[in-house]
């Protein structure tokens, strides 16, 4: 078998979905059932797999809507684990916590993992894979968790569920730091963002391929899935040159990425479905807010306008 065509589930197009609209954000106010159903109708013609980041009330609403409304989606569900260690290298200074908070965080994470297990068993026909965390081991994270601790979470999830288990992380730690974790997970999940690494649009696909194969070649007996890859459409200059992002560039990257991953049958969750105004700073052009293929008001960006005409 071609080493890069190992797959934890059948190949279909995939996208990251988080439905938080204006005035909503995790832990405070969540999208309603009706809003989620509206989103799922928009996404259903184009994608089979949705990736959800956390087993929070939003995920519960999405899973219930898929079941009740009989949408033909399958879910990759994560547990968003929070800092159990201080990370003084976090570039925006968000990685420092009191010892008391870190202790509380450990308890929170254990409860989150058990919630993930419960949902995976309740919605076994809908959830095709689970993830024990998201970007918690990379050097710049503000929610740092040790590799050993993530291994504990993975082993617990595997012992109590039937779906394949992974951990979603930037491609760099997979090159060395996460090798012990790779031994216990069922497949590798990488994130690749050429635009965050100052690549121009004409370099983007080659850079993504380099990231992917650098990891996949280390683990020839495991599937490697791309769980985040995307291109922002606005920037205030924070980490991304404003001249390097636009709807036109997003469409170029999307088209090139989909052509390659369709040909190679590499499961790839495009980041992301909708703009999320709660993210990042208060600046309206904060790049964290502008990765969606749809705007926050659900109007389609250029990619989706052309997709709609082509199908």
Q: What is the pTM of this model?
A: 0.96
Separation CA 2–CA 185 (nearest Å): 20
Looking at residue 10, what is its pLDDT?
Answer: 96
- Write out the residue range of the structural domain in which residue 152 sits: 3-310
For the chain, what percent of residues have pLDDT higher than 70? 97
β-strand pairing of 223-229 with 14-16:
unpaired
Give residue 307's pLDDT: 72
Q: 188 CB contacts (<8 Å, ≥6 apart)?
A: 166, 174, 182, 215, 216, 219, 222, 223, 224, 225
Which residue in this structure is represented by tokens 């974790």?
Answer: 181
- What whole-number distance in Å separates Cα of residue 131 and Cα of residue 189? 9
Transcribe the chain into DSSP letters.
--GGG--SS----EEE-----TT-BTTTB---HHHHHHHHHHHTTT-SEEEES-SSHHHHHHHHHHHHHT---EEEEE-----SB--TT-TTS-----HHHHHHHHHHHHHHHHHHHHHHHHTTTTEEEEEEEES-SSTT-SSB--HHHHHHHHHHHHHH-SS-EEEEEEHHHHTTTTHHHHTTSSEEEEEE-GGGGT--GGGHHHHHHHHHHHHHTT-TTSEEEEEEE---S---SSSS-GGG--HHHHHHHHHHHHHHHHHHT--EEES-SB--TTSSSS-TT-GGG---SB-TTS-B-HHHHHHHHH-
- pLDDT tens digit string along 161-210? 999 999 999 999 999 999 999 999 999 999 999 999 999 999 999 999 99
Specify the CATH number for the domain of residue 152: 3.20.20.80
Provide the mean pLDDT of the chain: 95
Q: Residue 89 burial by CB count (10 A; 0-12/13-18/19+): exposed, middle or buried? A: exposed
- Please state the domain count of the chain: 1
Structure confidence by residue, pLDDT tens digits, 258-302: 999 999 999 999 999 999 999 988 999 999 999 999 999 999 999
| Section 124-150 average pLDDT | 97
pLDDT at 311: 40
Q: Rounded distance, CA 294 to CA 274, Å?
A: 5
């Amino acid at each position: 078998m071609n080493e890069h065509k190992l797959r934890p589930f059948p190949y279909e197009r995939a996208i990251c979905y988080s439905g938080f609209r204006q005035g909503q954000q995790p832990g405070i106010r969540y999208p309603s059932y009706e809003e989620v159903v509206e989103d799922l109708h928009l996404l259903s013609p184009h994608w089979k797999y949705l990736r959800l980041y956390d087993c929070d009330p939003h995920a519960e609403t999405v899973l219930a809507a898929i079941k009740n409304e009989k949408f033909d989606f399958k879910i990759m569900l994560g547990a968003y684990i929070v800092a159990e260690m201080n990370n003084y290298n976090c570039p925006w200074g968000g990685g420092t916590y009191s010892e008391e908070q870190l202790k509380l965080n450990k308890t929170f994470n254990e409860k989150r993992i058990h919630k993930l297990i419960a949902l995976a068993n309740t919605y076994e026909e809908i959830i095709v894979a689970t993830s024990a965390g998201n970007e918690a081991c990379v050097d710049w994270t503000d929610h740092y968790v040790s590799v050993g601790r993530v291994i504990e979470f993975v082993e617990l999830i595997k012992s109590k569920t039937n779906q394949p288990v992974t951990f979603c992380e930037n491609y760099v730690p997979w090159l060395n730091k996460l090798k012990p974790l790779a031994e216990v997970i069922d497949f590798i999940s990488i994130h690749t963002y050429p635009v965050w690494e100052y690549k121009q649009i004409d370099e983007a696909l080659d850079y993504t391929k380099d990231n992917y194969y650098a990891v996949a070649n280390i683990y020839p007996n495991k599937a490697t899935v791309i769980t985040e890859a995307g291109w922002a459409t606005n920037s205030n200059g924070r980490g991304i040159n404003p001249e390097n992002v636009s709807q036109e560039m997003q469409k170029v990257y999307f088209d090139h990425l989909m052509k390659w991953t369709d040909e190679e049958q590499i499961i790839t969750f495009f980041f992301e479905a909708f703009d999320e105004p709660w993210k990042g700073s208060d600046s309206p052009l904060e790049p964290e807010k502008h990765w969606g293929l749809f705007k926050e008001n659900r109007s389609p960006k250029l990619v989706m306008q052309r997709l709609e005409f082509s199908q």
